Amino acid sequence: MKRKETAVEADRRSFLKLAGLGAVASSATLVAGEASAEQALPETAAGYRETDHVKTFYKSARF
């Protein structure tokens, strides 16, 4: 026999769907927060520098 769906069962499923969605949204917020923290590095940090050999490459590649 089939059991009739009650309002409690439907509410429980809705709650579980929203709880799962909340977990995904909170993890996306954490990742976005980490990315913005990485962009705030000072100008003196090691990274791309336009040195003589890079300038020579730009000339040869016609950039």
> Is 53 a domain residue?
no
Q: Residue 40: exposed, middle, or buried by beta-carbon count in 10 A (0-12, 13-18, 19+)?
A: exposed
> Is 17 a domain residue?
yes
**Which pLDDT does position 20 carry in this prediction?**
76
Instruction: Provide the domain count of the chain.
Output: 1
Examine the pLDDT at 63 and tell me if it is beyond 80.
no
Mean pLDDT (whole number) for 28-53:
67
> Is 12 a domain residue?
yes
Cα 24 to chain centroid distance, Å, stands at: 11
**Which pLDDT does position 60 carry in this prediction?**
93
The H or E element that residue 30 is part of is: helix 7-39
Angle formed at CA 48 by CA 43 and CA 53, multiple of 5 degrees: 135
> Is 25 a domain residue?
yes
> Is 18 a domain residue?
yes
Question: Range of 14's domain?
Answer: 7-37
